Amino acid sequence: MLDYFAKRNFSIEQIPDLSGKIAIITGSSTGIGKVCALEMARKGCTVILACRNQEKTKTVVEEIKAETGNQNVDFIQLDLLKLDSVTKFAQEFKSRYTHLHILLNNAGVMMSPFALSEDGIESQFATNHVAHYYLTMLLLPVLEGSTPSRIVNVSSMAHNIHFKKLNLETISDPKKYNRTIHYAKSKTCNILFTRELTKRLEAKGSNVFVNANHPGIVASDLSRHIVGINSLGSYLYNKLLCISAEDGALTQLYLATSPDVENEKIKGKYYVPFANVQLPKGVASQDDTPLELWNFTENLLKEKVNGYEGAPI
């Protein structure tokens, strides 16, 4: 409810002309990601919808082309529950495009029942953190060759939910699974990853701007796994508590497109509705944890992906 009253520092009308820019948006078949794809296409951006469901996404691609008149709207299949799919996505992208200016790591799953990804990683951690980390590492050389470029990692205020440690060694253990805490941990990882990647890019003097955001409490399909919520409960939740997907898209559209990001050197930050900076809390604010997560994810990828040579930074 509070999101309604947040200060509005950005609006759809403020998205600049994006002609000549190329963007990838994960999870853009629906919800907040779909709004981002539509509005960025409207401003002339070449947009690649990185989604798992081909049939559903191809319909969205046609809708966006028809509404915006922009024919540079593309689909490349990406299933974040399969690291092999991430590898293939990056190969396909690089075969079609030479530049990448905006990587919007938006796809996510919340509070799902315990499941393992194809690679044996707990599914919320796998989708929300590991696959997006891997995707970013595969695309980082292209982003660095397209500077100034941007990465936006879509986190959540759920990172505030109290837990003491990430306990990464047992993250995929069904006996230790708590769907709420695991969601909170995966969204904490989005912020920790943003901080560590920024530190490394800064050390290199690279002009890739990496930031994280909470989109707001948004009416979307994300709440599908919340237990005990019946259709009336879901209707009331969406109507009374949530902002629209259009408003929910604003904060990440700001980080992905606003000239403020380069002009004010906005890097390694966490933004909340509507385009207001905030300090991350809890584990996401700790000093040692970004590197701890980075090293854990690197080792995990080396174990799970044949031929992964490590982060290019």
Annotated catalytic sites, by residue? Answer: 177
59 binds ligand NAP (CB under 6 A): no
Q: Tokens 């003097």 correspond to what residue?
A: 205
Nearest Cα to 273, choosing from 86, 30, 6?
Answer: 6
Which residues, 199 to 228, sit near ligand NAP by CB under 6 A? 214-215, 217-218, 220-222
Smaller CB separation from ligand NAP, 123 or 146:
123
Torsion of CA 178, 217, 40, 7, to 10 degrees: -140
| Residue 255: both structure tokens together | 């980080």
Nearest Cα to 104, choosing from 33, 22, 25, 187?
Answer: 25
Q: Give the x-and-dash track for 68-87 against ligand NAP (CB under 6 A).
A: ----------xxxx------
H or E segment at 288?
A: none
Stretch that binds ligand NAP, among 9-17, 62-70, 108-116, 293-301 (CB under 6 A): 108-116
Q: How many residues comprise the chain?
A: 313
Q: Tokens 């599908």 correspond to what residue?
A: 224
Name which position in 19, 53, 71, 91 contacts ligand NAP (CB under 6 A): 53
Which residues, 275 to 304, sit near ligand NAP by CB under 6 A? none
DSSP string, 72-122: -EEEEE--TT-HHHHHHHHHHHHHH-S---EEEE-----SPPS-B-TTS-B
Name which position in 47, 154, 210, 283 contacts ligand NAP (CB under 6 A): 154
27 binds ligand NAP (CB under 6 A): yes
111 binds ligand NAP (CB under 6 A): no
DSSP string, 114-172: S-B-TTS-BHHHIIIIIHHHHHHHHHHHHHHTT-SEEEEEE--GGGGS--S---GGGTT
130 binds ligand NAP (CB under 6 A): no
106 binds ligand NAP (CB under 6 A): yes
Smaller CB separation from ligand NAP, 79 or 196:
79
Count of residues interacting with ligand NAP (CB under 6 A): 28
Stretch that binds ligand NAP, among 23-31, 161-169, 225-233, 288-296 (CB under 6 A): 23-31
Residues contributing to the site for ligand NAP (CB under 6 A): 27, 29-33, 51-53, 78-81, 106-110, 127, 154, 156, 214-215, 217-218, 220-222
